[in-house]
Structure 1
Amino acid sequence: MLKTITGPLLQGSPQERVHYALTGEKPHRDAKLLLMLGDELVSALTTAQLRRWHGLIRVEVGAHTANRVMSMLKGILALAEEDFGVRVCAMPTNLAKRKSKPKKEILSPEEVAALIAHAKADPERGIFYAFPFLTGVRVSEQLGLLWSDIDLDRNVITICRVQERDGTTIETTKTEAGARDIPISATLRGLLLAWRLVCPRLDGELYRVFPGPGVPQQWPLPRLGGGGPVLYSNFLKRYWRPAFKASGIRYVTHHSARHSFVSVLQAQGVEVGLVAKLAGHASAAVTLGHYTQAVRGGADALALLDLAYQGQGA
C-alpha cells in the first residue's frame, strides 16, 4: 500500500503490479511506470497535486484503494507536521468516491425466452443456465442447492445454503434475507421434473440439483463418479458460456440473470418489496422493506414472469 504513495506504480494488471513490487521486473519491455509522490518534499506538496495523484490512483487501481491510501497519507502528513514541525498543505475535499459504473447489461424478455427454449431442448445442461433467470438466485445459492430443498408438492424452493468456490457448502446464506422460499413457476417445474429423471446421483441417490456429470455408461447403468459438486470455474466453462455460444444469445454474466429476474418482475407491476424478498436482498435501501420469512403473492409473481418470457406480458 505504501508503494502506491511513494511509487513508481506499474501500469498493468493487479498480478503484474504484485510481481513488479516483489521482483522489480517489468512484465514486458514497454510496460509503463507511473511516478507517484516519492520524490516530492513533504513541505512542497500542494492540495492540487494530491487531488491529481488521488485521481490517478482511482483510474489505475480503483476507488477503494485510492481512498485508503489518501487516508494513510493524511495520517503520515499529520505526524510529520506534529513531530517535525513541517508545514503541510490542506488535504483535498469532495473527492469522487468511486468511478461511475457502466450500466449492467441484461437480456430482454425475448432473449431470455429464446435461451429458455434452447434449455428445454438441452436435457443434459439446460437447467443449469435457465435456472437463475427463473429464480433470481445467486450462483453460490444455485450450486449449493439440494433436491431436499425442492418441494414439488408445495411448489417451493428453499434457499438455505451456499456453495463456496472450493465446492464445500455452508448452511447459511450471504445475508439473513438470503434465506427464503422461491415459488416454482410452470416453466421451471417442467424443467425440474425432466431433469430429476436424468440428474446424476450420488451413491445412487438424488442429492445435488446441480452436480458434476460423472462418466456416462450404457443404459441402464448409472454414471460413474457423478453427483459431486461443480466448481464455479467448471460451471462457467462447461455450462454457462457454451449455452450462449450454442444458442446465439449475447453473453451476460450469471449475476445479470438476477438483474433480469428483478427487472422483468418490476416491469410486470409486481410490488417492489415482494420482488426484493424473492431476490433475497438484505439492504433496506434495496428491499424497500423488512425481511419476512413468508413470501405472499410470490406464486402469482412467478406466473407473471413466465408470461413475460412467453411474450404475453403487460
Structure 2
Amino acid sequence: MAELVEAPEGRQGRPSKALTLDQAHALLEAAREYALYPYIVVSLTTGIRTEEARALRWEQVDVEGNPHTAPPRPPSLAVWRADREGGETKTRTSKRTLALPQLAVDALRQRKAEQDRQRVAAGSQWEEHGLVFCTGQGKPYTRFHAYKLFQPIVKRAGLENWTPRELRHSFVSLLSADGTPVEEIARMAGHATTLTTETYYRRELRPIITEGADRMDAILRQNPPSEDS
C-alpha cells in the first residue's frame, strides 16, 4: 500500500538530462516486454509531461486519423488535461493536439488491447476512469507509479539514475539534434515562447538550429541496434 501514499515534497532534485539516440534505442528495446512500454513510447515521441500522461484519456486519442479529409487528419492525441489541481494543464499554451508517430500509434493499440484484457481479468474490481495509462485495476497512477515501474526497465537497458520526466527532455534533445527549429520544438512542448524552451532545455538544444526536421519515429528508426549488439 506504500506506493499509493503521497510522500511530502522534498528538496529540489538533480537537473534533468536527456537520452542520446543510442540510449533511446536501448531503452525502447528493453521496455518492449513491459507494461510501461506504451507509456515510454508516447512520452518519448510526443514530449508530453508526466502529469499530462497520467491524465490522458482514450477520448483524447485518435489512432486512426482520417486520410480522406482535406487536409488529411493524422493519428493524434489531444493534451487538454493534466494530473494537477482542477485537472488543468500547466499553462494555457500547454493545451495542444499532437500528431502521433507510427511508433506511438502501434504502442497505443497495444496498450488498448492489454487494457481490455486487464478489465476482464479484474472483473468487479475494475475502476473505469477512461484513462490510457493506469493500474491493472483501472486506477489512476500516482506520480510515483511510473517512476517505480520505470526503474527495472532502465536497469535492463544498462542505464542508471533516470526518471520518466527525462523522456520529455530526451524528446527535445533528439528533435534538436536532428535539426528541428526551436520554434517548432517549443510549440510541440506546449511552451508559450521559445524562451522557456531555451531556458529550461538549454542543455538539450543544439547551439545552431537548422531547418528540415523528420518525424520522431523516423529519428528512432535511424541506425537501430543490431540483434548481435
**Normalising by structure 2, what TM-score?**
0.71
Q: Aligned to 1:170, what secondary structure does the other structure show?
A: helix
Alignment correspondent of 2:19: 107
**What is the CA RMSD across the aligned residues, in angstroms?**
3.0
List runs of 5+ in structure 2 lacking aligned partners. 1-8, 66-74, 120-124, 199-211, 225-229
For 1:21-170, what aligned pairs fall within 5 Å after superposition?
A: 104-122=16-34, 124-154=35-65, 155-164=75-84, 170=86
Alignment correspondent of 2:201: none
Check whether the contact 1:158–1:181 (CA below 8 A) recurs between aligned residues.
yes
Alignment correspondent of 2:99: 183
Check whether the contact 1:136–1:258 (CA below 8 A) recurs between aligned residues.
yes
Listed one character per residue, the Cα deviations across residues 182-214 of structure 1 (whole Å, up to 9, x for unaligned) are 11111111111111101144958681111111x
Residues of 1 paired with 2:127 and 2:16: CA distance? 41
Check whether the contact 1:110–1:309 (CA below 8 A) recurs between aligned residues.
no
Residues of 2 paired with 1:242 and 1:178: CA distance? 30
Alignment correspondent of 1:277: 187
CA drift of 1:287 comes to 5.3
Query: More deviation in 267-276 or 195-204?
Result: 195-204
Q: Aligned to 2:150, what secondary structure does the other structure show?
A: helix
Residues of 2 paired with 1:267 and 1:206: CA distance? 38
Q: 1:233 aligns with which of 108, 122, 144?
A: 144
Residues of 2 paired with 1:125 and 1:305: CA distance? 19
CA drift of 1:284 comes to 4.9
Q: Aligned to 2:24, what secondary structure does the other structure show?
A: helix
- Which residue identity does 1:274 align to in structure 2? E
Q: 2:168 aligns with which of 241, 246, 258?
A: 258
CA distance 1:148–1:285, shift in 2 (3 Å):
same
Larger radius of gyration: 1
Check whether the contact 2:58–2:132 (CA below 8 A) recurs between aligned residues.
yes
Check whether the contact 2:18–2:170 (CA below 8 A) recurs between aligned residues.
yes
CA distance 1:276–1:284, shift in 2 (3 Å):
closer
Q: Aligned to 1:162, what secondary structure does the other structure show?
A: coil
Alignment correspondent of 1:9: none
List runs of 5+ in structure 1 lacking aligned partners. 1-13, 16-60, 63-100, 214-225, 289-299
Q: Aligned to 2:98, what secondary structure does the other structure show?
A: strand
- Which residue identity does 2:169 align to in structure 1? H
Number of residue pairs the alignment of both structures matches: 187
Listed one character per residue, the Cα deviations across residues 15-43 of structure 1 (whole Å, up to 9, x for unaligned) are 8xxxxxxxxxxxxxxxxxxxxxxxxxxxx
Residues of 1 paired with 2:150 and 2:37: CA distance? 9
CA drift of 1:277 comes to 0.8
Structure of higher RCO (CA pairs closer than 8 Å, 6+ residues apart): 2
Q: Aligned to 2:144, what secondary structure does the other structure show?
A: helix
Check whether the contact 1:129–1:243 (CA below 8 A) recurs between aligned residues.
no
CA distance 1:153–1:249, shift in 2 (3 Å):
same
Residues of 2 paired with 1:255 and 1:282: CA distance? 20
